[in-house]
Amino acid sequence: MDWKSERNELIETVCTMNKLGINHGTSGNASVRVDNGYLMTPSGVAYEEMREEDIVLMSFDGSYESIEDRRKPSSEWRFHQDLLSARADFGAILHTHGTAATTLACHRREIPPFHYMIALAGGHTIRCAEYATFGTQALSDNVLTAMEGRKACLMANHGLLVGEASLRNALSLAVEVEYLCDAYWRALQLGDPVLLTTEQMDAAQENFRKGYGIASP
């Protein structure tokens, strides 16, 4: 199979990330699960110039292939692979370098329950993974720890990572978390925001489990 529709959706998703302003240039990356592997955006290709044949097919043993052997996977393929391996609920992973998320990541701040929409990311907080050099197994290990029981995390001095059932849902979540990051740093300008209680966050999570969510961008 060549997964034509999945390749095109992957390209459309990363282009939309940039159009929406939650990413820029060739930073960030994305993947989507297919059969016994996953499709991955390539290294160093501008999104608006990306074509189906540029998308890389990855195996869970770390090997890869691309049409005519023309492309290599993003250097961040390790945390995509490890997350997709560890989390059966994830069908797609997005990594962005949005301004607000990256700003908080550079301060290595966990986002507390200042807003009930934090619960969309799977818990009462959005953690910040410890720093490690990009593209390393150490970074992937840190990300897996931060993503335990979560669908999103910041990456220290780096950016944002989200995992969801589909590319559409992952993009929606990435947009929402970028908004929350922006709102949080603005709230901090007035002092420490009032945080919701454990009970209030539990109630928000229960409502999300019942089907309340966010529209796709």
Q: From CA 56, how far away is CA 51, in angstroms rounded?
A: 11
Q: Which of 123, 116, 9, 103 is nearest to 55 (CA)?
A: 9
Give domain status of residue 179, yes or no.
Answer: yes
CATH of the domain at 20: 3.40.225.10
HSE, side-chain direction, 13 A CA sphere, residue 90:
32
76 part of the active site? yes
Catalytic annotation, pick one of 49, 52, 53, 76: 76
Query: From CA 134, how far away is CA 32, in angstroms rounded?
Result: 20
Edge to edge, the sheet with strand 37-40 lists 64-65, 56-59, 37-40, 29-34, 92-96, 159-164, 152-155, 128-129
Residue 47 lies in a domain: yes
Residue 186 lies in a domain: yes
Number of domains in the chain: 1
In a domain, 98, yes or no: yes
Cα–Cα distance for residue pair 46/73, rounded to 1 Å: 13
Whether residue 161 lies inside any domain: the answer is yes
Task: Specify if 16 maps to a domain.
Answer: yes
Three-state SS for 18?
A: helix
Residue 216 inside a domain? The answer is no
Spatial separation of the C-alpha atoms in residues 66 and 55, rounded to whole Å:
7
Predicted structure pTM score: 0.94
Q: In terms of residue numbers, what domain contains 17?
A: 4-209
Q: Could you list the pLDDT tens digit for every one of the 217 residues in the chain?
A: 689 999 999 999 999 999 999 999 889 999 999 998 999 999 989 999 999 999 999 999 989 988 766 799 999 999 999 999 999 999 999 999 999 999 999 999 999 999 999 999 999 999 999 999 999 999 999 999 999 999 999 999 999 999 999 999 999 999 999 999 999 999 999 999 999 999 999 999 999 988 776 554 5
Asked whether residue 14 is assigned to any structural domain, the reply reads yes
CA distances from 67 to 2, 49, 57, 102, 217 (A): 10, 16, 9, 33, 31
CA distance 208 to 136: 34
